[in-house]
Amino acid sequence: MELKSSNRSHDGTQGVYTHSSTATGTEMEFSVFVPDHEDGEKLPVVFYLSGLTCTQANVTEKGEFRAACAELGLIFVAPDTSPRGEGVPDDADGAYDFGLGAGFYVNATEKPFAKTYRMREYIETELPALIGAEFPADMTRVGIMGHSMGGHGALTIALRNPSAYKSVSAFAPIVSPLNCPWGEKALTGYIGADKATWREYDACALIEDGARVPEILVDQGTADNFLEGQLKPELLTQICEKTGQPLTLRMQEGYDHSYYFISTFMRDHLEWHAIRMKS
């Protein structure tokens, strides 16, 4: 692991790191904010998964999480959204919603993406092990959250691994890739045309198939350009009501899909995670 930058902020340290990933076979970059703490103290951890076109830099620079994390005693980890570098395949037409910056937190099985696009393995296994080994992290108290494509990642990863996470939340998540253009394009390209194999990457399908977490928090802006065509939070509401999966969905009037929206409600989410990681 190599330290790329380190800055003092809000009584803590914001670092950006790179390492050679065994999951993706590439160099991966991530950021970690660690609040000041007593020697030997272990702190709970929140993983934040970013959305389409983003790197870890978007939330690190615009998420406004550090003051809340310092007050709550939370380590905040933000990985990249896809593998990058020489030899990593991209969308043939350079589209924003597939390829680089659009890993969708899956383990790809289709060529040429299967070799490097293994973001599921990276987030579920490799990165948590690295954080636990290199930082003062209590890996028995972990939460996960994300935005848009990263909200999809957070929900599906928590639903597949309920014992690994104390809490899960999302900002404007893609709740059902089976039922939106972004998901159809990405999962066809990464996983193949058989939609039965997509269900493990669809939060609504996972809940329908029996996956459960203690509760889910979602914030969604009513002025989000992607609300009706891509995000469809009503599908999550319907399946949670049908199955009894606890869900708090807050429709935030006038907010869009940007970090103006995310930063406004970031503290709410971090406080929500902190409470659940103490219980």
Distances (CA, A) of 195 to 91, 111, 117, 120, 185: 21, 17, 19, 18, 12
Give the mean pLDDT of 148-165.
98
Contact 178, 228 (CB under 8 A): no
Question: pLDDT-based confidence at 126, cuts 50/70/90?
Answer: very high
Looking at the annotation, which residues are catalytic?
148, 224, 257
Contact 77, 95 (CB under 8 A): no
In this predicted structure, the answer to whether residue 279 has a pLDDT above a threshold of 80 is no
222-275 pLDDT, tens per residue? 999 999 999 999 999 999 999 999 999 999 999 999 999 999 999 999 999 999
Where are the chain's structural domains? 2-277
193-222 pLDDT, tens per residue? 999 999 999 999 999 999 999 999 999 999
In this predicted structure, the answer to whether residue 140 has a pLDDT above a threshold of 80 is yes
Question: pLDDT-based confidence at 142, cuts 50/70/90?
Answer: very high
Percentage of residues in the chain with pLDDT exceeding 90?
A: 99
First to last CA, the chain: 32
Tokens of 157: 């990863």
Percentage of residues in the chain with pLDDT exceeding 70?
A: 100
d(CA 100, CA 145): 21
* Check whether domain 2-277 has CATH 3.20.20.70, yes or no: no
Residue 102 DSSP symbol: B
Mean per-residue pLDDT over the chain, rounded? 98
pTM of the model: 0.98
14-52 pLDDT, tens per residue? 999 999 999 999 999 999 999 999 999 999 999 999 999
Buried b or exposed e, range 198-215, using 16+ CB within 10 angstroms: bbbbbbbbbbbeebebee
Give the mean pLDDT of 88-110.
97
Q: For residue 112, is the peptide bond before it cis, meaning its omega torsion is within 30 degrees of 0? A: yes
Contact 272, 169 (CB under 8 A): yes
